[in-house]
Structure 1
Amino acid sequence: MSKITETRLTLAALIYGIEIDLKNNIKKNIIPFYENLAFFKNPELEKKVIERFEKENPGVLYIENLDEVIEFMDFYDTFTVLNQNKEFLTKEASVYLKSIINNLTDITPIRNRVMHTRPLLGGDFSHTYDFVSSLRKTDPIDWSVTIETREKIDRDPSYVLTLKFPSTHFENDQSNISHNLPVPDFDETGFIGRQQDVEALTKLILSNRVVSVLGDGGIGKTALALKVAYDIVDMNESCPFELIIWTSAKTTMLTTKGIEEIHTAITDYSGLIAEISISIGGENKLNEILEYLAYFNTLIVIDNLETIQTEEVRNFIRNAQTKCHILITSRIGLGELEYPRKLNGLSESESAKLIREIARIRNSETLLRLPQKTLVEISSKLYFNPLAIKWFVSTVETGIPPHEVINNKENLLEFCLTNVYEKLSSGAISILKTIRASRKKVTNAEIIYLSNLDPLDTRKHLIELFKTTLISRQIEDGSNYEQVTYFISDFAKDFLSKKYPIEQEYIKNHIKKSKELNTGISQIKKVQKYNIFALNALVYENQNQMISAKFLQEALIFSKNGDFESALQKVKEAKNIDPNYFEVYRVGAFIKATQGDLLSADEDYKLGLEIAPNNLRLLYYYAQFLMFKLEDINSALFYAKNVYNQQPNHPYTAFLIARCWNYSQEFNKAIQVIKNLKENVELDSKNLRIANTELISNYAESGKSELTIQTDIDNGINHFKKAFKIFDECANDKLIDYKMAKNFSTTVLSFIKLLPVVKISEYKEFIKELIRKNETYINLNVQLKEKIISLYQDKFSDNDLNNLIKNYEGNEKLIGNVIKPKNNKNNYVFIETPNERIFAHRYDFIDITTWTEWKNVVNGQMVSFELGENRGGKCAKSVKIIA
Structure 2
Amino acid sequence: MSKITETRLTLAALIYGVEIDLKNCIKKNITPYFENLAFFKDSKLEKKIIDRFERDNPGVSYEENLDEVIEFLDFQDTFTILNKNKEFLRKETSDYLKSNFKQLSDLTPIRNRVMHTRPLLGGDFSFTYDFVTTLKKSDPIEWQITIDTREKIEKDPSYVLTLKFPTNHIDEEISKVSHNLPVPDFDETGFIGRTEDVAVLTKLILSNKVVSVLGDGGIGKTALALKVAYDIVDMNENCPFELIIWTSAKTTMLTSKGIEDIFTAITDYTGLISEISGSIGTNNKLDEVLEYLDYFKTLLVIDNLETIQSDEVRDFIREAQTKCNILITSRIGLGELEYPRKLKGLSETESAKLIREIARIRNSETLLKLPQKTLVDISSKLYFNPLAIKWFVSTVESGIAPHEVINNKEDLLDFCLTNVYEKLSDGAISILKTIRASRKKVTNAEIIYLSDYKPLEVRKYLIELFKTTLISRQIEDGNNYEEVIYYISDFAKDFLSKKYPIEESYIKSNIKKSKELNIGIRQINKVQKYNEFALNALVYDNQNQMISAKFLQEALLYSKNGDFEGALNKVKEAKNIDPNYFEVYRVGAFIKATQGDLLSAEEDYQLGLEIAPENPRLLFYYAQFLMFKLEDTDGALEYAKKVYAQKPNHPYTAFLIARCFNTAQEFNKAIQVVRNLKENVELDPKNLRIANTELISYYAETGKSELRIQTDIDNGINHFKKAFDLFEECAEEKIVDYKMAKNFSVGILTFIKILPVVKIEDLKSYIKDLIINNDKYINLTVDLKEKIILLFKDKFTDNSLNYLIEFKEDERKLVGNLRRTRNPKDNFAFIETKNESIFAHRYDFIDVANWSDWKQIENGQLVSYELGENNSGPCAKSVKMI
- 2:346 aligns with 346
Instruction: Report if the CA contact (8 A) 2:455-2:573 is conserved.
Output: no
Instruction: Report if the CA contact (8 A) 1:585-1:605 is conserved.
Output: no
- 1:271 aligns with 271
The one-letter code matched in structure 2 to 1:513 is K
Instruction: Report if the CA contact (8 A) 2:702-2:719 is conserved.
Output: no
- How far off is 1:262 after superposition? 1.4
Instruction: Report if the CA contact (8 A) 2:251-2:267 is conserved.
Output: yes
Deviations 1:687-731 (A, max 9, x none): 8x8469736863x666x5xxxxxxxxxxxxxx7666666666666
Residue segments in structure 1 that go unaligned for 5+ positions in a row = 641-654, 660-672, 705-718, 813-834, 836-883
Instruction: Report if the CA contact (8 A) 2:269-2:312 is conserved.
Output: yes
- 1:147 aligns with 147
- 1:747 aligns with 698
How many equivalent pairs are there? 758
CA distance in 2, matches of 1:696, 1:381: 67
- 1:759 aligns with 712
Instruction: Report if the CA contact (8 A) 2:696-2:726 is conserved.
Output: no
- 1:598 aligns with 596
Instruction: Report if the CA contact (8 A) 1:110-1:120 is conserved.
Output: yes
- How far off is 1:287 after superposition? 1.4
Deviations 1:652-708 (A, max 9, x none): xxx55366xxxxxxxxxxxxx67xx98xx6655228x8469736863x666x5xxxx
- How far off is 1:357 after superposition? 0.3
Larger displacement relative to structure 2 (98-107 or 560-569): 560-569
CA distance in 2, matches of 1:433, 1:149: 60
Q: 1:530 to 1:295 in 2, by over 3 A?
A: farther
Instruction: Report if the CA contact (8 A) 2:704-2:716 is conserved.
Output: no
- How far off is 1:811 after superposition? 9.3
CA distance in 1, matches of 2:771, 2:449: 61
Deviations 1:524-582 (A, max 9, x none): 79999999997557799999887555322211134346665764564466578799999
- 1:657 aligns with 638
**SS in structure 1 of the partner of residue 515 of structure 2:** helix
**SS in structure 2 of the partner of residue 755 of structure 1:** helix
CA distance in 2, matches of 1:540, 1:682: 19
Larger displacement relative to structure 2 (379-388 or 219-228): 379-388
- 1:838 aligns with none
CA RMSD of aligned residues (A): 4.1
CA distance in 1, matches of 2:694, 2:436: 60
The one-letter code matched in structure 1 to 2:649 is S
Residue of structure 2 aligned with 1:784, choices 709, 725, 743: 743
Q: 1:547 to 1:366 in 2, by over 3 A?
A: same
Q: 1:525 to 1:72 in 2, by over 3 A?
A: farther
- How far off is 1:606 after superposition? 5.3
- 1:379 aligns with 379
CA distance in 2, matches of 1:692, 1:552: 26
Q: 1:143 to 1:740 in 2, by over 3 A?
A: same
**SS in structure 2 of the partner of residue 501 of structure 1:** coil
Q: Does 1:136 align with 2:136?
A: yes
- 1:414 aligns with 414
- 1:509 aligns with 509
**SS in structure 2 of the partner of residue 486 of structure 1:** strand
Instruction: Report if the CA contact (8 A) 1:115-1:169 is conserved.
Output: no
Instruction: Report if the CA contact (8 A) 1:475-1:485 is conserved.
Output: yes
Deviations 1:472-498 (A, max 9, x none): 222223264443222223232222222
Q: Does 1:495 align with 2:495?
A: yes
Larger displacement relative to structure 2 (127-136 or 42-51): 42-51
- How far off is 1:231 after superposition? 1.5
- 2:442 aligns with 442
- 2:309 aligns with 309
CA distance in 2, matches of 1:31, 1:515: 85
Pairing 1:712-727 to 2, within 5 Å after superposition = none
- 2:191 aligns with 191
Instruction: Report if the CA contact (8 A) 1:609-1:615 is conserved.
Output: no
Larger displacement relative to structure 2 (238-247 or 219-228): 238-247
CA distance in 2, matches of 1:766, 1:578: 52
Deviations 1:2-45 (A, max 9, x none): 99822111111111111111111111112223333333333333
- How far off is 1:290 after superposition? 1.8
Pairing 1:241-280 to 2, within 5 Å after superposition = 241-280=241-280
Percent identity among equivalent residues?
67
- 1:842 aligns with none
**SS in structure 2 of the partner of residue 72 of structure 1:** coil
Instruction: Report if the CA contact (8 A) 1:697-1:747 is conserved.
Output: no
TM-score w.r.t. length of structure 1: 0.76
Q: Does 1:631 align with 2:591?
A: no
- 1:694 aligns with 657
The one-letter code matched in structure 2 to 1:759 is D
Larger displacement relative to structure 2 (114-123 or 559-568): 559-568
Larger displacement relative to structure 2 (224-233 or 537-546): 537-546
Larger displacement relative to structure 2 (514-523 or 326-335): 514-523
- 1:877 aligns with none
- How far off is 1:362 after superposition? 1.0
CA distance in 1, matches of 2:704, 2:575: 53
CA distance in 1, matches of 2:586, 2:671: 39
The one-letter code matched in structure 2 to 1:685 is N
Larger radius of gyration: 2
Pairing 1:519-538 to 2, within 5 Å after superposition = 520=520
Instruction: Report if the CA contact (8 A) 1:778-1:784 is conserved.
Output: no
CA distance in 1, matches of 2:581, 2:100: 66
Deviations 1:91-139 (A, max 9, x none): 2222222222221121111112112221111000000100001111111
Q: 1:223 to 1:524 in 2, by over 3 A?
A: farther
- How far off is 1:308 after superposition? 1.0
The one-letter code matched in structure 2 to 1:213 is V
CA distance in 1, matches of 2:540, 2:95: 67
- 1:324 aligns with 324
Pairing 1:158-237 to 2, within 5 Å after superposition = 158-168=158-168, 170=170, 173-237=173-237
- How far off is 1:165 after superposition? 0.7
TM-score w.r.t. length of structure 2: 0.76
Q: Does 1:475 align with 2:475?
A: yes
- 2:108 aligns with 108
CA distance in 2, matches of 1:254, 1:189: 18
- 2:41 aligns with 41
Instruction: Report if the CA contact (8 A) 1:696-1:726 is conserved.
Output: no
Instruction: Report if the CA contact (8 A) 2:627-2:660 is conserved.
Output: no
- 1:392 aligns with 392
Instruction: Report if the CA contact (8 A) 1:782-1:810 is conserved.
Output: no
**SS in structure 2 of the partner of residue 485 of structure 1:** strand
CA distance in 1, matches of 2:42, 2:402: 57
- How far off is 1:68 after superposition? 2.1
Larger displacement relative to structure 2 (602-611 or 414-423): 602-611
- 1:856 aligns with none
